[in-house]
């Protein structure tokens, strides 16, 4: 019986020497039955020792297996993170670095010869969906089971890490001010062109990381002096009429002066004869008569062309001969008149002339001298004199109200903001007055809640001239002078139109980004306001921005990228009108500067966005992150990028943070 037990534990041919000796001893004792109980107990210890020993070895193997799995998971997670922040990844260029990162984390978690193991090995593979799969193997030498023929236990662990993106809405508020056409030191392209490339790469990264069941939507708010939102606003969200600082060409009443009318000329006596003299070449003048030296009198000019250039021929006045003239006057009547008040006086005048009168007569491009000889030539005529009110035409710079019903066909799409007030305490903002800062306020019939179209072509400053000389004037100004016209000097740009949150294919996304252009000044507040409005789940577009499903809530992110500090100008026509004249949120003499006003409104709008559980990311490209920016984004979510590589890294870090890195095996 005992011999059969030992035989079943291990075959004779393969049994270790100790068991073979035990088996021979049992056979020799088979016929000796004395002390059987003691022997049975002694030999029962052997299988018991084997069972207990195997348990110890297997327990250690289980510990090694658990540690091996952890190391495998750690390595693939590290590799997938590295892949997420590697721009323009390719296996040939970056595969070795990914593998090095994976091995480093695997080795830290499972050092060589841990638990006296041997033949440690770890391999990773980059799958087509950008996940990282791994296989780890190791051999565990046994301590007890080797006496029973089992010297090693081979262990294997598999793992896989992937970056998946949940349902996500991403609003990109992108600085497209004029300075974006500049180039950072060391870069090969403008800030605008680099931003376009990086944003398109960001889209590719996010789309690669998303799962088949998740939804990612992107929206755009290009901003500078203003934001172009005309394409997304309903007609009843915009006022039907509005008042603009403009100008009108007006006839203005001048002083009263007397006017003479000549009539009834008759010959009395004497003689007058005309002779023809020499011929000279006419003079050529490009342009219009009276525009620089040429005569204006009728008959003295003739339009023509010289070398293909339009212009006119003209003749000079004839040589002066000092003729003599005498007059005598006789008042015939004097009648009172009104409007204007005065008298209508009729006078008969007798004129006597002697001497020569010379002039040149134009014919084609020649001037012929003609002379009229007067010999006691007497004629008589009537002069009627009466008072008139003179008028002059000039510009009247004033506020002009117009109907805005056709704003979609008449404007570029930028808007003036709705009603607000000059805020002195930003810790206690009254949103019932500052309707512009209420990011969820949906317009009603109340015009204070509605937007006002920007008619840039009709807005003029007063009394600032085209060179920015003079002083702002709320009062009307009448003048022939040309005053400041912001649109003509690039201080009233309207950027590329915004886009609401939507899913995009690659071609659509790239085409939109490539269409961005740079112009205008840096008004961060209007960019933040519209980005928050378009991303909020409870505001203007609540029905569109609600969670995709109750079980998969939407993650909302606002990425705000700028290349400059706040830089408003009082001569800019923007979202708050021509500010020194409109005086809706700021005026000359305010306690805060215009720059401080813009920055405080930016900060307030940012906090309003975060109240909607929107995560704000801020990137300063080619500039520094100022305290207002860093406070807006919060710890770890603001970046300063001085060149293209750092901008790429910032966006990749954001994409990694937006996504959910997880183990799929």
Domain membership flag for residue 20: no
Cα dihedral 599→614→234→511 (10° resolution): 90
> Is 128 in the same domain as 173?
no
State whether residue 350 is helix, strand or coil. strand
Residue 12 pLDDT greater than 50, yes or no? no
DSSP state of 117: -
Tell me the pLDDT tens digit for each residue of 322-380.
999 999 999 999 999 999 999 999 999 999 999 999 999 998 889 999 999 999 999 99
Count of C-beta atoms within a 10 Å radius of residue 227: 29
Query: Burial letters for 577-609: b for 16+ Cβ neighbours within 10 Å, e otherwise?
Result: bbbbbbbbbbbeeeebebeebbbbbbbbbbebb
Domain membership flag for residue 580: yes
Give the pLDDT of residue 81: 76
Per-residue pLDDT, averaged over 221-242, amounts to: 97
As for how many domains the chain has, the answer is 3
Domain membership flag for residue 196: yes
Domain membership flag for residue 23: no
> Is 271 in the same domain as 197?
no
Kindly report the CATH number assigned to the domain that includes residue 649: 3.40.50.410
Give the pLDDT of residue 203: 95
Residue 291 pLDDT greater than 60, yes or no? no
Contacts 24+ apart (CB under 8 A), 178-184: 178/224, 178/490, 178/518, 178/519, 178/520, 178/521, 179/518, 179/522, 179/563, 179/564, 180/518, 180/563, 181/518, 182/563, 182/622, 184/621, 184/622, 184/642, 184/643, 184/644
Q: Is there a cis peptide before residue 207, judged by omega within 30 degrees of 0?
A: no
Tell me how far apart the alpha carbons of residues 614 and 600 are, in angstroms, rounded to a whole number. Answer: 19
- Whose CA is closest to 382, among 334, 329, 337? 329
What are 123's strand-pairing partners? 135
Spatial neighbors of 178 by CB under 8 A, at least 6 apart, are 224, 490, 518, 519, 520, 521
Domain boundary among 108, 138, 163: 163
> Is 265 in the same domain as 325?
yes
Domain boundary among 135, 163, 191: 163
pLDDT category at 26 given cuts 50, 70, 90 is low
Tell me how far apart the alpha carbons of residues 191 and 181 are, in angstroms, rounded to a whole number. Answer: 6
For 234, list phi and psi in degrees, rounded to 5: -75, 155
Give the pLDDT of residue 2: 40
Chain-centroid distance, C-alpha 383:
71
> Is 435 in the same domain as 558?
yes
Tell me how far apart the alpha carbons of residues 611 and 129 are, in angstroms, rounded to a whole number. Answer: 35
Tell me how far apart the alpha carbons of residues 593 and 604 are, in angstroms, rounded to a whole number. Answer: 17
Residue 3: C-alpha distances to residues 20, 247, 266, 534 (Å): 10, 120, 167, 86
> Is 427 in the same domain as 547?
yes
Tell me the pLDDT tens digit for each residue of 49-104.
454 555 677 778 888 998 999 899 889 988 887 876 676 667 777 788 889 999 99
Domain membership flag for residue 344: yes
Count of C-beta atoms within a 10 Å radius of residue 103: 16
> Is 384 in the same domain as 320?
yes
> Is 637 in the same domain as 502?
yes
> Is 528 in the same domain as 659?
yes
Residue 568 pLDDT greater than 90, yes or no? yes
Domain membership flag for residue 472: no
Domain boundary among 339, 360, 393: 393
State whether residue 84 is helix, strand or coil. helix
> Is 158 in the same domain as 174?
no
Which residue reads 């003609």 in tokens? 370
Tell me the pLDDT tens digit for each residue of 585-597.
999 999 999 999 9
For 313, list phi and psi in degrees, rounded to 5: -95, 150
Residue 5 pLDDT greater than 50, yes or no? no
Domain membership flag for residue 17: no
What are 245's strand-pairing partners? 399
Tell me the pLDDT tens digit for each residue of 366-423.
999 999 999 999 999 999 999 999 888 899 999 999 999 999 999 999 999 999 999 9
pTM: 0.67
**Residues 63/116, Cβ–Cβ less than 8 Å:** no
Give the pLDDT of residue 55: 63
> Is 223 in the same domain as 148?
no
Q: Whole domain around residue 624: which residue ranges? A: 168-239+417-458+488-663
Tell me the pLDDT tens digit for each residue of 536-559.
999 999 999 998 777 778 999 999
Give the pLDDT of residue 88: 66
Give the pLDDT of residue 151: 83
> Is 284 in the same domain as 366?
yes
Tell me how far apart the alpha carbons of residues 535 and 30 are, in angstroms, rounded to a whole number. Answer: 91
Tell me how far apart the alpha carbons of residues 583 and 492 are, in angstroms, rounded to a whole number. Answer: 17
pLDDT category at 213 given cuts 50, 70, 90 is confident
**Residues 566/574, Cβ–Cβ less than 8 Å:** no
> Is 655 in the same domain as 521?
yes
Give the pLDDT of residue 233: 97
Residue 230 pLDDT greater than 90, yes or no? yes
∠ CA 361-364-369, rounded to 5°: 25
């Amino acid at each position: 019986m005992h011999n059969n037990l030992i035989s079943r534990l291990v075959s004779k041919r393969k049994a270790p020497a100790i068991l073979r000796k035990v088996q021979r001893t049992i056979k020799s004792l088979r016929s000796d039955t004395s002390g059987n109980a003691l022997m049975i107990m002694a030999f029962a210890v052997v299988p018991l020792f084997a069972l207990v020993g195997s348990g110890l070895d297997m327990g250690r193997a289980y510990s090694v297996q658990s540690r091996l799995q952890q190391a495998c998971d750690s390595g693939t997670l590290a590799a997938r993170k590295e892949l997420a922040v590697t721009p323009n990844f390719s296996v040939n260029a970056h595969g070795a670095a990914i593998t090095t990162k994976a091995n480093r984390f695997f080795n830290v978690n499972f050092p060589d010869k841990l638990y006296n193991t041997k033949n440690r090995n770890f391999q990773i593979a980059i799958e087509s969906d950008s996940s990282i799969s791994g296989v780890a193997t190791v051999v565990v030498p046994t301590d007890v089971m080797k006496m029973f023929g089992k010297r090693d236990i081979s262990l294997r662990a598999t793992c896989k890490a992937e970056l998946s993106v949940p349902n996500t809405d991403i609003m990109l508020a992108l600085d497209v001010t004029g300075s974006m056409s500049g180039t950072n030191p060391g870069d090969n392209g403008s800030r605008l062109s680099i931003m376009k490339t990086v944003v398109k790469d960001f889209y590719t990264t996010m789309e690669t990381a998303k799962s088949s069941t998740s939804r990612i939507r992107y929206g755009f708010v290009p901003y500078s002096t203003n934001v172009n939102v005309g394409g997304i606003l309903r007609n009843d969200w915009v006022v039907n009429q509005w008042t603009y600082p403009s100008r009108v060409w007006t006839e203005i009443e001048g002083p009263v002066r007397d006017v003479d009318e000549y009539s009834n000329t008759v010959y009395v006596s004497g003689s007058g004869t005309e002779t023809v003299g020499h011929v000279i070449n006419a003079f050529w003048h490009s342009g219009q008569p009276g525009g620089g030296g040429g005569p204006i009198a009728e008959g003295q000019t003739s339009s023509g062309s010289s070398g293909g250039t339009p212009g006119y021929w003209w003749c000079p006045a004839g040589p002066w001969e000092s003729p003599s003239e005498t007059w005598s006057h006789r008042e015939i009547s004097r009648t009172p008149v009104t409007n204007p008040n005065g008298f209508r006086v009729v006078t008969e005048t007798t004129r006597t002339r002697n001497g020569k009168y010379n002039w040149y007569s134009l014919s084609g491009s020649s001037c012929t001298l003609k002379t009229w000889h007067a010999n006691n030539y007497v004629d008589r005529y009537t002069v009627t004199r009466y008072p008139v009110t003179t008028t002059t035409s000039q510009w009247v710079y004033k506020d002009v109200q117009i109907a805005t019903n056709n704003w979609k066909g008449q404007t570029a799409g930028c808007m003036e903001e709705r009603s607000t007030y000059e805020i002195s305490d930003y810790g206690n903002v009254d949103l019932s007055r500052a309707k512009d800062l209420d990011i969820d306020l949906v317009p009603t019939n109340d015009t204070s809640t509605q937007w006002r179209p920007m008619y840039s072509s009709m807005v003029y400053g007063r009394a600032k001239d085209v060179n920015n000389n003079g002083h702002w004037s709320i009062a009307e100004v009448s003048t022939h002078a040309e005053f400041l016209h912001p649109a003509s000097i690039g201080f009233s740009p309207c950027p590329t139109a915004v886009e609401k949150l939507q899913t995009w294919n690659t071609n659509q996304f790239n085409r939109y980004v490539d269409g961005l252009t740079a112009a205008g000044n840096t008004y961060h507040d209007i960019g933040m306001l519209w980005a928050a409005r378009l991303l909020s789940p409870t505001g203007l577009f609540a029905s569109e921005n609600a969670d995709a499903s109750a079980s998969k809530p939407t993650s909302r992110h606002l990425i705000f990228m700028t290349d400059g500090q706040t830089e408003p100008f009082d001569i800019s026509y923007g979202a708050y009108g021509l500010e020194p004249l409109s005086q809706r949120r700021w005026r000359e003499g305010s306690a805060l500067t215009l720059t401080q006003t813009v920055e405080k409104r930016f900060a307030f709008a940012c906090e309003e966005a975060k109240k909607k559980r929107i995560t704000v990311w801020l990137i300063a490209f080619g500039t520094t992150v100022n305290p207002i920016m860093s406070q807006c984004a919060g710890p770890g979510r603001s970046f300063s990028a001085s060149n293209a590589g750092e901008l790429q890294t910032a966006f990749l870090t954001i994409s990694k943070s937006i996504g959910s890195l997880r183990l799929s095996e």
